[in-house]
Amino acid sequence: MDPRILLASTAAVAVAADQTTKAVALAALDDGATRPVIEGVLHWTLQRNPGAAFGIFQRAPALFTVLAIGIVVFILAIAPRVKDNLNGVALGLVLGGALGNLTDRLFRPPGPFRGRVIDFIDFRIWPTFNLADVAVVVGAGLLAIASFRADREAARPAT
């Protein structure tokens, strides 16, 4: 499959999964309400996060909106040059995660550039997060693996 198509389709699936699960969480939970899924391990806890992933830096929502826009523009600019499937999936996950949370920042209260990101996955030992955060973290991990693989390939002697 063309890595650019893989990038776009991965991003689309990530955004759709993120926004769908956030809609379900908003419909099923009250703010701050917790529902155990696996008691003491996994809970659904609805939170509206003005900060970055996992609830950090909550006093700078506009900064993270601009940063997300920058990430989206950067990935879209380099997308035509993506040559392998691993990078396509990795960048698609980062793009989808950035777009998922950017959608919240632009269209959720209290308004554009200040909107709160919907978080609901709560393991009780980590800040509450959402599928967009998962996509960004997994995508970044896959980019690190792709980089390591590329470095290893470049270091191999030509045969």
* Model pLDDT for residues 6-47, shown as the tens digit of each residue: 999 999 999 999 999 999 999 999 998 899 999 999 999 999
Confidence of residue 83 (pLDDT cuts 50, 70, 90): very high
45/28 Cα distance (integer angstroms)? 10
CB 28 within 8 Å of CB 118: no
Per annotation, catalytic residue among 18, 104, 119, 122: 119
Confidence of residue 151 (pLDDT cuts 50, 70, 90): confident
- Residue 108's pLDDT is 96
List the one residue out of 108, 106, 128 whose CA is nearest residue 43. Answer: 128
- Residue 17's pLDDT is 98
Confidence of residue 88 (pLDDT cuts 50, 70, 90): very high
Is residue 53 predicted with pLDDT exceeding 70? no
112/129 Cα distance (integer angstroms)? 21
- Residue 122's pLDDT is 97
Confidence of residue 57 (pLDDT cuts 50, 70, 90): low
- Residue 56's pLDDT is 62
List the one residue out of 98, 146, 12, 48 whose CA is nearest residue 154. Answer: 146
**What is the CB neighbour count within 10 angstroms for residue 136?**
23
Per annotation, catalytic residue among 18, 104, 122, 133: 133
User: What number is the average pLDDT over the span 100-113?
Assistant: 95
The mean of the pLDDT values for the chain is: 92
Q: Is 2 a catalytic residue?
A: no
User: What number is the average pLDDT over the span 65-73?
Assistant: 95
Which whole-number Å values give the CA distances from 119 to 31, 46, 122, 159, in the listed order? Answer: 10, 6, 8, 51
List the one residue out of 8, 158, 157 whose CA is nearest residue 82. Answer: 8
- Residue 159's pLDDT is 63
Q: Is 151 a catalytic residue?
A: no
Long-range contacts of 52-61 (CB under 8 A, 24+ apart): 53/101, 53/129, 53/133, 53/136, 53/137, 54/126, 54/127, 54/128, 54/129, 54/133, 55/119, 55/127, 55/128, 55/129, 56/127, 61/105, 61/113, 61/114, 61/115, 61/116
Cis before 109? omega within 30: no
List the one residue out of 96, 94, 92 whose CA is nearest residue 7. Answer: 92
